Amino acid sequence: GGGYAAMAEGEGLLSVDYEVSGRVQGVFFRKYTQGEAKRLGLVGWVQNTSHGTVQGQIQGPTARVRELQEWLRKTGSPQSRISRAEFSNEKKIVALEHKDFQILK
């Protein structure tokens, strides 16, 4: 590949689903995730699941999505304890499918 492919890769839009396990409910995890996503200019959603994890979807520029993935893997909210962050259904998209980043009940 040449330099152009690498540039296009960095500028493209990515969509990825995530699920974070550990002590992630009742510790403002969703609120912090929303704040971080908005800071990075990403769209998508986040919600608690019935089995104690937090899940959602992130969409935006590839490099920014990677930053939030790293944040979900290592940082989270101040009181959270992340044991695992799993990502799935990663795909390139041509347009964002969400207007903003929402916390779903």
Residue 28 is part of which domain span? 13-103
Catalytic status, residue 48: yes
User: Six-digit token pair at 30?
Assistant: 């969703």
For the chain, percent of residues with pLDDT exceeding 90: 89
In this predicted model, what pLDDT tens digit does every residue of 38-77 receive, in sequence order?
999 999 999 999 999 999 999 999 999 999 999 999 999 9
**Catalytic pick among 23, 48, 81, 84:** 48
Find tokens 């908005």 and name the residue. Answer: 38
Question: Is the separation of the CB atoms in 42 and 96 below 8 Å?
Answer: no
Q: How many domains does the chain have?
A: 1
Residue at 28 is within a domain: yes
Residue with more model confidence, 8 or 75: 75
Structural domain includes residue 99:
yes
What confidence tier does 9 reach under pLDDT thresholds 50, 70, 90? very low
pLDDT at 8 over 70: no
Phi and psi angles of residue 54, each rounded to the nearest 5 degrees, phi first: -120, 135
In a domain, 44, yes or no: yes
Cβ neighbour number for residue 94 with a 10 Å cutoff: 6
The pLDDT-based confidence of 96 (bands split at 50, 70, 90) is very high
The closest alpha carbon to 33, from 84, 86, 87, 70, belongs to: 70
Residue 97 lies inside a defined structural domain of this protein: yes
Question: Is 75 part of a structural domain of the chain?
Answer: yes
Does a structural domain hold residue 88? yes
Spell out the residues 6+ positions from residue 27 whose beta carbon is closer than 8 angstroms to its own: 76, 77, 78, 79, 80
Answer yes or no: 81 catalytic: no
- Residue 5 within any structural domain of the chain: no
Secondary structure (3-state) at 102: strand
Residue 32, domain CATH: 3.30.70.100
Banded pLDDT at 2 (limits 50, 70, 90):
very low
Average pLDDT over every residue of 26-33: 98
